[in-house]
Amino acid sequence: MAYKFIDLFCGAGGFSKGLEMAGFECIGGIELKEVISKTHQLNHKKSKTIFGDIREVPPEKFAEIIGTNHVDVIIGGPPCPTFSTIGDAKIRSVTGKPTSEDPRNQLFLEYLKYVDYFRPDIFVIENVPNFITKYKGAIFNTAVEIIENIGKDDEGNGEGIYEVEKPVQVVNAVYYGVPQTRRRMMLVAHKKSGVKFSYPQPTHFYDQDDEDSKKLKPCTTVQDAIGDLPDITDNWRISEMPYSKNRGLTEFQKIMRASGNGKTVKNNICRMSNDRAKRVFPHMAQGSKYMDLPPEIRQILPFREDIFQDRLKRLVLKEPSWTVIAHIGMDGYMYIHPTENRTLSVREAARIQSFPDDFEFVGNQQETYVQVGNAVPPLLGKAIGESLMTYLEANIKGGN
């Protein structure tokens, strides 16, 4: 039987999908926004995904919903707006309060309540790299301390049952076949068993400076990722379409299409860019950004140039994409198609995040873009999942 896991703060389910690709079974998820929970449920048939605030759903109630209090693995990424540089500035400007007072900084405590209740063999907290250093490491160190005290009594007596695998790693998705540079912290903790967890070794070469890495597979590029997807235009509204190419597929394209019907793919909708943006796009070379444009071209679509120097960026066909973020739901100007004068479609963005083509997003255009941008790339999740599987199998062989 497959090892079973639950996904807290599951979002659309990129991390869940990755673990399923590694051989795990998702039996439950919890998501704050209803439309996103519908996406997770649609794509994880055996999961009982609930729409709700984790602060109002105690783990005992969650166990009743999923029908068990036994899970092998817990994964999740507590929302992290105040850990990122952009989020920090935005929250200060809106609330006028230090971000250390933002209640969302405490959501990882809710995650750990679930760990304390379910006592999985191993669990993963995914977050931005700044989780480790923000507030001089106070939140990170508190998280580690709480994890290492699980199992002790209220007075702190006894021995904790978990250890955090150190050093906690920051991994880059591009090293695992994702056509995108995306750095994420993965904090892994497991029961004290004498078996160590090993983070996945990179499989692809991008910018590593050691000689061994240069022998790996070449990184997956934007062209590798989207070159076979349907031919569309700006403001495209037909979701399900046939592929534009069926021969000479890249390894990545074959992986993305493996579980689909092989003929059509959904979520091909593309936003309509405004007329001024469409006048600017033809002046942008691959890899160029807003401030690379001549002043007279910038005036067609003016922004504050001291703040928005890379407000527009055109992707490079033969390089990985830069990080896809939730802001793609607003206008997509940071993700202009490498060769066409439009922004990426939802499916193209999903491919750059490494979502397989049979993964369908529920919601309106903006909601689906945001779901893609907020996700853990499934191929990164798969790499982590394979390491989790190795750890669990080693425990069984060791008689634990």
Q: Is 64 exposed, middle or buried (0-12, 13-18, 19+ CB in 10 A)?
A: exposed
Q: H helices of the chain, where? A: 14-21, 34-43, 59-66, 85-95, 107-118, 130-133, 138-149, 222-226, 251-257, 275-280, 295-298, 346-352, 365-373, 378-397
Structure tokens at 381: 């999740």
CB 268 within 8 A of CB 230: yes
Phi, psi of 222 (to 5 degrees): -60, -40
Exposed e or buried b per residue across 292-301, where buried means at least 16 C-beta atoms within 10 angstroms of its C-beta: bbeeeebeeb
CB 335 within 8 A of CB 329: no
Taking the C-alpha atoms of residue 289 and residue 373, their distance in angstroms, rounded to an integer, is: 20
Q: What is the DSSP letter of 331?
A: T
Catalytic residues: 80
